[in-house]
Structure 1
Amino acid sequence: MTNSPVTRPTRDLSIDQQQALRTAATRLQTDFRDTFGTETIERFLHSSYDEFAGRATVPNFLPLLAERFARQRLKALARVEGKVTDGKPTVLFLCTHNAGRSQMALGYFTHLAGDNAVAWSGGSEPGNEVNPAAIEAMAEVGIDITGEFPKPWTDEIVQAADIVITMGCGDACPIFPGKRYEEWTLADPAGQDLDTVRPIRDEIEERVRRLLAELDVTAEVR
């Protein structure tokens, strides 16, 4: 297979968006050319674009979101197919909108585990933006989650996870036989003010620290 840029027709896209997608494809092909062929990379990029196209509030950001999500999915697929064997524990945090609880859990896990473990997050019904109160609450403890965005879960992401932590998505959460699941019963911060979100944030921190200890991942003392 060649590593040519994506050539799939892109209707209803501006010239700038089409160019941004071609640039994203080139970057992904450069980073994953030793792991996947162009066809797989192209399929993941465009299906990722489609995931956000119907609910994006800022269309110009769509190619960037698609690239970031495609990158995450390709990394997950590499783990599923045994092309990455670093032995790092991999955790997936799931809630309904991927806007509050799962984003705070991801923020804490990534902040505390550093490069010693892998974590992703997703939602059964992804929202349009991360909860501003959750962002503010995390900023108070020195963790910046402004770069995150609500996204769905996909089969390869669930399959790549060693542990799936669910937070209120109920029957909508994906179930794969043989996968370890754990339900964290937490209040939903959606529509709540900062004072209400703070105790939810603190409970999430406690749970993440316990999980890291169980996984024997050294957490930085904060």
Structure 2
Amino acid sequence: MSRTLSHAEIKEAFRRFAEVRPEPEGELVHTNAYTLLVAVALSAQATDKGVNKATAGLFPVADTPEKMLALGEAGLIEHIRTIGLYRNKAKNVIRLSRILVEEHGGEVPSSRAALAALPGVGRKTANVVLNMWWRLPAQAVDTHVFRVANRTGLAPGKDVLAVERMLEDVLPAEYALHAHHWLILHGRYVCKARKPDCGACVIRDLCQYDEKTPGAEEQAA
């Protein structure tokens, strides 16, 4: 496990992330809290690009839980069959839509516990909704965040919950809102799983990863 960076190093790392992307945004297309919730639930074991392609036709006809229930499970499947695990996801979306209507007046709750209690919505999905819609400094730890946090030493942890709690403990308050987006985007495009692009990394000198790939200057040397 990587050495945990010092508070000064962590602050400097996020200062650099903020300098590169002052206002990072999630890549799932949505129009309201409900479509965000559905999009994130559909994105499990699927790419954001694949989800966006499927929801481009879905959300114009079902952007509320009431409309989704009217569409029905079979109708929903027709829109999302290109997404992995689509049958199980369709069941969960219909079930969570019914619960939203029956127990929450058709509104998406702003409570992590209430969100996580919905079918197909785990802690990570709840944190994404809390962060992206309700603008709360919740840290959604997906595979990218988990990898970057451990590999760099920003917030090492043996599991996603440990990483989430470590991030909450070490993040400077001014960077907490956007932190998980910076880490997701860094993991998706720079600190990739198989071959990280260390030459393009803005925190390379702070990172604790032992197997850094060479940058262009090193390759030319």
TM-score, scaled relative to structure 2: 0.26
Higher percent of residues as helix: 2
TM-score, scaled relative to structure 1: 0.26
**Rg comparison, structure with higher value:** 2
**More RCO (CA 8 Å, sep 6+):** 2
Higher percent of residues as strand: 1
